Structure 1
Amino acid sequence: MNVNWKGVIPAITTKFNLDDTIDYTFYADHCRWMVDAGCIGLVPLGSLGEGSTLSFDEKVTLLKTALAAVGERVPIIPGIAALSTKEAVRLAQTAQELGCSGLMVLPPYVYSSDWREMKAHVDAILNATELPALLYNNPPAYKTDFLPEQIAELAHEHSNLQAVKESSTDVRRVTAIRALLGERLDILVGVDDAIVEGIQAGAVGWIAGLVNAFPRESVELFELAVQVREGQGNRARLEELYNWFLPLLRMDTVPKFVQLIKLAQEFVGMGSAQVRGPRLELTGAELETARSTIQYALEHKPTIQA
């Protein structure tokens, strides 16, 4: 299946049972809920999916689950992250063998490196399969930064590098990458609270987090932002929806974003706040603040257009 990067693609969460095993039945239902709401693909095994806590076998089973649930409807694009380049290559090749449509390629986990080593890691993954790939740049989280010039170098050397998930939090990166590469790479926003600004700067897609709890709202927000950029949309409606959504979207940009987004899922009845160690569920003032924010949003949610 060809990958269309122009739309909302959830970085899907992983629900755990009380005994810390994975709830694969819910995972399949969650995949279907995202796609039914208008999402155009899914990214399992990402940071929001707590990929760093999953065993290789669990990752394989999650990919099989997503493929069985919605693989005939949308592309499955797993996050490729590992402690070693060898393991990342193995996961990329396994994803291709299983029938995944693309890859989201992360820099080396834990080891924050220089460009020479970062490039060697990404080169190895991109050379290991024929799948189209999305490069994930998130310097706040991974302490490595793929500069626009470096992204351009990778794009010139790898035809299967089709897109970049830009999570530097600086929307100027969108225009900088476009200035170097034009339409060669699709640029996707990777931080929820910059989605409208990113679309206005020229991004064409959104690897989204709060979509896990609010899929229809996320899809409408994205579509409105694109329409307004093209001079055809309802700006007042976009501002109304974005202003309502922003307190929730900001939950995607803090260290405990996994706990916050899974808590939001629990509030809407589509998931559990349970996380896998070393993460712990929110408590005390953190929990009360988050609960208040989510509850206020639910009580003041605008009507979503069909």
Structure 2
Amino acid sequence: MNAHKITGVYSAAATPLNADGSPDLGLFTEHCQRLLEEGCHGVALLGTTGEANSFSSSERRNILEAALKAGVPADKLLPGTGVVAIPETVELTRHALSLGVTKVVMLPPFYYKGVTDDGLFTAYSQVLNTVADNRLQVILYHIPQVSGVPLSVPLIGRLIEAFPETVVGIKESAGDFNNMQAIIAAYPGFSVLAGADPLLLPLLKAGGAGCITATSNLVADSLRAVYDNVHDEAQTSVVDAAQARINAYRALSNSYVQIPTIKAMVGLKTGNAAWKRTRAPLMPLSEADYAALAENYAKLP
């Protein structure tokens, strides 16, 4: 592998809800279009920030179809298709491919903990061998603090070796920069994407490929400024200012439970209180927390 196959700034897009708790497809597609206009190279929908594992397979299919119907280009979408059951992961991946969406983010099966690399290799292999579509490009999803299932550096290598044209990247959301560096060093050309906004800048300097992050729901323009200018010494002040803004938004979003807070901040940005809604077991911010958030949000650059 030489050049990265997937690069850029991707938003781990939040999913708005209607009053009855169903996905608000119209508001979601508006959000996708805004993210692209603000500088995202693409939208990584149906991930952790998007509350994907609180949605049924049919809801996930409807969300992806709505984005395409609204005119979001298929090559700009990276849906999450990895779920607990292998046949369902196959089904969701095939559905994406049937719509012309060829890049997906794939969690490992995550219910059973303490599984071996052999077990994870077998699971991923069964999915990819069953889908059997040479258009497919998979970004592995490493988020052990949530999934409870880490993807080791040797496992990543086995998957790259077995599926060199298909397993092309990883979303590294553990926030472990040493692990990111280890993957970059071990597998040149493999796309390592940061899942934490503050790590985009150091990751790009270390040879990483970009990011898939939550704060891009709010400051996509600043993340794009970092990505575009990181290697231009004349733009150091632009990059530093953009990174400081990113960090400020990230810090505020982490002051409360992150996903409800990101959604509330999108609502504050757009003036649409519908964004405050979450699907159980996640709960919206309390009135007191929301008031404090709104006060602090108004002070952000």
Quick one: higher RCO (CA 8 Å, sep 6+), 1 or 2? Answer: 2
Alpha carbons 1:43, 1:77 under 8 Å: kept: yes
User: Which residue is equivalent to 2:55?
Assistant: 54
How far, CA to CA, are the matches of 2:80 and 2:206 in structure 1?
25
User: Is the 1:259–1:275 contact (alpha carbons within 8 Å) kept by the matching residues of 2?
Assistant: yes
Aligned mates of 2:276, 2:124 — CA distance in 1: 33
Tell me whether 1:172 sits opposite 2:173 in the alignment: no
Q: How much has 1:223 moved relative to structure 2? A: 2.2
* Within-5 A mapping of 1:55-204: 55-72=56-73, 74-112=75-113, 113-127=115-129, 128-130=131-133, 131-159=136-164, 160-183=166-189, 185-204=190-209
CA distance in 2 between partners of 1:254 and 1:175 (Å):
28
Structure-2 separation of matches of 1:142 and 1:276: 18
2:242 corresponds to 1:241: yes
Q: If the length of structure 1 is used for normalisation, what is the TM-score?
A: 0.87
Residues 217, 262 of structure 2: 8 Å contact kept: yes
Which shifted more, 234-243 or 88-97? Answer: 234-243
Q: Which amino acid in structure 2 is aligned with residue 139 of structure 1?
A: P
Superposed displacement of residue 33, structure 1: 1.0
Between the aligned partners of 1:81 and 1:251, the Cα distance in structure 2 is 29
Q: What is the SS of the residue equivalent to 1:42? A: strand
Superposed displacement of residue 129, structure 1 = 4.0
Match for 1:62: what amino acid?
Answer: I
Q: Is the 8 A contact 2:80 2:104 kept in 1?
A: yes
Sort the Cα spacing of 1:31 and 1:101 in 2 relative to 1 into closer, same or farther, 3 A.
same
Deviation at 1:254, TM superposition (A): 8.1
Report the alpha carbon displacement of residue 40 of structure 1 after superposing the two structures with TM: 1.5
- Alpha-carbon distance in 2 for matches of 1:198, 1:209: 17
Decide whether aligned partners of structure 1 residues 222 and 260 sit closer, same or farther in structure 2, where only a CA change above 3 A counts: farther
TM-score (norm 2): 0.88
Matched to 2:80, the amino acid is: G
Distance 1:72 1:284, change over 3 A: closer
Structure 2 equivalent of residue 217 of structure 1: 222
Q: Determine if contact 1:192/1:253 at 8 Å carries over to the other structure.
A: no
The residue type paired with residue 158 of structure 2 is E
How many residues were matched structurally?
291
Cα distance in 1 for partners of 2:260, 2:292 equals: 13
The residue type paired with residue 11 of structure 1 is: A
- Distance (Å, rounded) in 1 between the aligned partners of 2:208 and 2:296: 28
Contact (CA 8 Å) 1:96, 1:129: kept in 2 or not? no
Note the C-alpha offset of 1:71: 4.0
How far apart are 1:46 and its partner, in Å? 0.9
State how far apart, in whole Å, the 2-side matches of 1:89 and 1:177 are: 26
Post-superposition Cα deviations, 1:112-142, rounded to whole Å, max 9, x if no partner, equal: 2332222222222222242111111112221
1:281 counterpart = 2:287: no
**Partners in 2 of 1:152 and 1:74 — Cα distance?**
26
How far is the alpha carbon of 1:197 from its aligned partner? 1.9
User: Please, which runs of 5 or more residues in structure 1 have no aligned partner?
Assistant: 302-306
Query: Given that residues 222 and 245 in structure 2 are in contact (C-alpha distance below 8 angstroms), is that contact kept between their aligned partners in structure 1?
Result: no
Q: Which moved more, 1:55-64 or 1:68-77?
A: 68-77
1:251 offset after TM fit, Å? Answer: 5.5
Q: Does 1:205 align with 2:205?
A: no
Give the secondary structure class of the aligned counterpart of 1:103. strand
Describe the SS at the equivalent of 1:8: strand
Distance 2:57 2:255 in 1: 27
Structure 2 CA distance for aligned equivalents of residues 80 and 203 of structure 1: 23
Q: Which residue of 1 aligns with 2:294?
A: 291
Alpha-carbon deviation of 1:109? 3.2
**Is the Cα contact below 8 Å between 1:75 and 1:101 reproduced in 2?**
no
- My pick for the range that moved more, 185-194 or 238-247, is 238-247
Report if aligned partners of 2:64, 2:79 keep a CA contact under 8 Å in 1. yes
